[in-house]
């Protein structure tokens, strides 16, 4: 088991790396060249700025039982297809039970934006979301290690 982090715009990189280290798991940070990361523990993979290039690199690296941290529903679906465990930065664990409705919601939002509709942007991240993420990540590790 390793932890793969889709680090483009990811607010929990440090939490994920520290958690991986405390459990003795390999951590890999994957980002495009517009983001700068350094870590004394985690491996870092830089990819080009192409659309979804970090997502596709992560999808190619993930193996059954690996944990993938992402907010991208399409990437989460690819991780599930490879029997990985995708988790969102707020602690939501993607599964076969919820991925279809999440992908449908994403599609509907895209259609609405393309039609001129407005969808409210993200709000400020809370400490409770960091705590929920950490708790979910630890539960996944302990259940599957």
Residue 107 has pLDDT above 60, yes or no: no
Q: What span, in angstroms and rounded, lies between the C-alpha atoms of 72 and 62? A: 15
pTM: 0.84
Q: What span, in angstroms and rounded, lies between the C-alpha atoms of 59 and 37? A: 20
More confident residue, 62 or 96: 62
Sheet strands side by side (includes 67-69)? 43-47, 26-32, 2-6, 67-69, 85-87
pLDDT band at 113 (very low <50, low <70, confident <90, very high): low
Decide if 55 contacts 7 (C-beta within 8 A). no
Contacts 24+ apart (CB under 8 A), 30-35: 30/4, 30/5, 30/6, 30/54, 30/57, 30/58, 30/61, 31/7, 32/8, 34/8, 35/7, 35/8, 35/9
Tell the CATH topology of 2-144. Answer: Rossmann fold (3.40.50)
pLDDT at 125: 82
Q: What is the pLDDT of residues 10-54, one digit of tens each?
A: 899 999 999 999 999 999 999 998 888 999 999 999 998 877 889
Q: How far lies 87's CA from each of 49, 82, 99, 137, in Å? A: 23, 14, 11, 8
Please tell me the total number of residues recorded for the chain in this structure: 145
């Amino acid at each position: 088991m390793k932890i793969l982090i889709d680090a483009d715009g990811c607010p929990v990189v440090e939490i994920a790396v520290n958690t991986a280290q405390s459990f003795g798991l390999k951590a890999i940070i994957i980002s495009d060249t517009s983001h700068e990361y350094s870590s004394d523990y985690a491996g870092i993979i830089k990819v080009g700025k192409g659309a979804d290039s970090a997502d596709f690199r992560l999808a190619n690296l993930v193996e059954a039982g690996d944990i993938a941290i992402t907010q991208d529903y399409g990437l989460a679906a690819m991780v599930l297809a490879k029997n990985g465990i995708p988790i969102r930065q707020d602690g939501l664990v993607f599964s076969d039970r919820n991925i279809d409705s999440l992908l449908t919601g994403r599609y509907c939002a895209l259609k609405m934006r393309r039609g001129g509709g407005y969808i409210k942007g993200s709000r400020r991240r809370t400490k409770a979301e960091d705590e929920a993420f950490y708790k979910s990540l630890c539960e996944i590790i302990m259940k599957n290690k």
